[in-house]
Amino acid sequence: MRNYAVIGDPVGHSRSPGMQNAAFEHYRLGSPYVKRHVRPGELGAFVEEARRTLAGFNCTVPHKSAIIPYLDEVDPKALAASSVNTVTVREDGTLAGTSTDGYGLEMALETNFGRPLAGAEVCFIGCGGAAHATSFHLAERGVRTIRLANRTLSKAEELAEKLRAANPGLAVETALPSDSDTLARWFAATDFLIQATSLGLRETDPAPFDLGLLRPGLRMAVFDTIYLDTPVLRKARQAGLPAAGGAAMLLYQGAKSFEIWTGLAAPIDAMRAGMEGNSS
Ligand code: ATR
């Protein structure tokens, strides 16, 4: 059997090998999934090698967008989002790319909060890779409104234009995260707040917006795409709001990749244990 890989720069921290190998082992298919440190300048050489030697690979930072020109086929939603995290190498060496990040977020919201996406009002803080990779999928799943707050307003406006073009019925608004009046108004009408900046990984990081806006009585559930417990999640819990971190998103995006590659049902419990480093 050919191997699978996750490529990134850095890649050492990736939990994908533990999670994916737990799934392969569940089906007695060995441990074919490896980590590969691929720097930006090495992507072309890696792709040529992958065509001959791999069955599939995941892309993480900084390759999710850069991989696209190398692919023979990209699904339209991933192309609109300019973000691919799952590549299948076909028998003839051609490459098909898609993104499972949006599905991962959808399942994380569903399993943590048990609320429907259809008709929901969603607010993203941050418009980088995470928001691009997931917002098109949420739009496709029938959310009514997407509000985008980003420090660099032009990036929020660019993403908003693309979302509107791909989803004619969708309402999209933009603002700066420092505009607390607008955020307070948005939060009063938000079902899901998605923290999608890179802030919160380090204790010294500034808050991505005024956390005093997370008040008791809001109807919104708060999700942080970061894997750890973050100040945003702690403040949300203090305010009595439902809150969850990025672990479930990581789990379900990986589960979908496994299903795309193998056609087998993802063994979720085994994958969760593998992701958390508890697999035997
Ligand atoms: P990733 O792939 O991790 O999403 P990214 O694409 O560089 O990384 O996006 C990082 C996100 O965090 C962006 O929304 C970024 O805001 P800008 O678009 O203005 O750069 C946000 N971010 C990072 N550092 C920030 C900071 N110190 N203050 C506010 N937002 C920040």
User: How much of the chain, in percent, has pLDDT values that exceed 90?
Assistant: 96
Q: Kindly state if the Cβ of 162 falls inside 6 Å of ligand 1.
A: no
pLDDT for position 29:
97
Q: Three-state SS for 50?
A: helix
- The CATH number of the structural domain formed by 3-99+248-275 is 3.40.50.10860
Question: In the chain, which segments carry CATH 3.40.50.720?
Answer: 102-245
The b-or-e profile of 197-235 (16+ CB within 10 A means b, else e) is bebbeeeeeebbbeeebbeeebebbbbbbbbeebbbbeb
Q: Does domain 102-245 have CATH number 3.30.70.1290?
A: no
Q: 147 pairs with which residues across the strands?
A: 123, 173
Summarize the confidence of residues 205-234 as an average pLDDT.
97
Q: What are phi and psi of 13, to 5 degrees?
A: -80, -10
pLDDT for position 280:
43
The 8-class DSSP code of residue 37 comes to E
Q: How far apart are CA 55 and CA 2, in angstroms?
A: 5
Q: Kindly state if the Cβ of 198 falls inside 6 Å of ligand 1.
A: yes
Of the candidates 257, 264, 263, the one whose C-alpha atom is nearest the C-alpha of residue 275 is 257
CA angle 198, 201, 202 (to 5 degrees): 120
Q: How far apart are CA 272 and CA 248, in angstroms?
A: 8
Question: In the chain, which segments carry CATH 3.40.50.10860?
Answer: 3-99+248-275
The b-or-e profile of 22-38 (16+ CB within 10 A means b, else e) is bbbbbeeeeebbbbbeb
The pLDDT mean for the chain works out to 96
For residue 52, the tally of other CB atoms under 10 A from its CB is 9
The pLDDT tens digits of the residues spanning 183-199 come to: 999 999 999 999 999 99
Ligand 1 pocket mutation, candidates 60, 64, 84, 197, criterion most atoms within 8 A of CB: 197
pLDDT for position 196:
98
Q: Is 134 annotated as a binding residue?
A: no
Quote ipTM for the complex.
0.95
Residue 150 has pLDDT above 80, yes or no: yes
46-50, 158-162, 200-204: range with lowest mean pLDDT: 200-204
Question: Residue 280 C-alpha to ligand 1 middle, in angstroms?
Answer: 37
Enumerate long-range contacts of 157-161, CB under 8 Å, 24 or more apart. 159/127, 159/131, 159/132, 159/135
Query: In Å, what is the CA distance from 14 to each residue of 28, 61, 138, 153?
Result: 23, 11, 25, 30
pLDDT for position 160:
98
Residue nearest to atom 7 of ligand 1 (CA): 128
Q: Is 35 annotated as a binding residue?
A: no
The pLDDT tens digits of the residues spanning 109-135 come to: 999 999 999 999 999 999 999 999 999
Question: Residue 39 C-alpha to ligand 1 middle, in angstroms?
Answer: 21
Q: Is 153 annotated as a binding residue?
A: yes
Summarize the confidence of residues 247-268 as an average pLDDT.
98
Which distant-in-sequence residues (6+ apart) come within 8 Å of 83 by Cβ? 64, 65, 99, 101, 129, 132, 133
Can you point out the beta strands (E) in 117-246?
Answer: 121-125, 145-149, 171-175, 192-195, 221-224, 243-244
Q: Kindly state if the Cβ of 151 falls inside 6 Å of ligand 1.
A: yes
- Residue 62: asked if its preceding bond is cis (omega within 30°), the reply is yes
Q: Kindly state if the Cβ of 176 falls inside 6 Å of ligand 1.
A: no
Give this prediction's pTM: 0.96
Q: Is 42 exposed, middle or buried (0-12, 13-18, 19+ CB in 10 A)?
A: middle
Q: How far apart are CA 209 and CA 150, in angstroms?
A: 10
Active site residues: 64
Q: What pairing do the DSSP bridges indicate for beta strands 121-125 and 192-195?
A: parallel
The pLDDT tens digits of the residues spanning 162-175 come to: 999 999 999 999 99
Residue 279 has pLDDT above 60, yes or no: no
pLDDT for position 278:
66
The pLDDT tens digits of the residues spanning 223-247 come to: 999 988 999 999 999 999 999 999 9
Residue 101 near residue 138, CB atoms below 8 Å: no
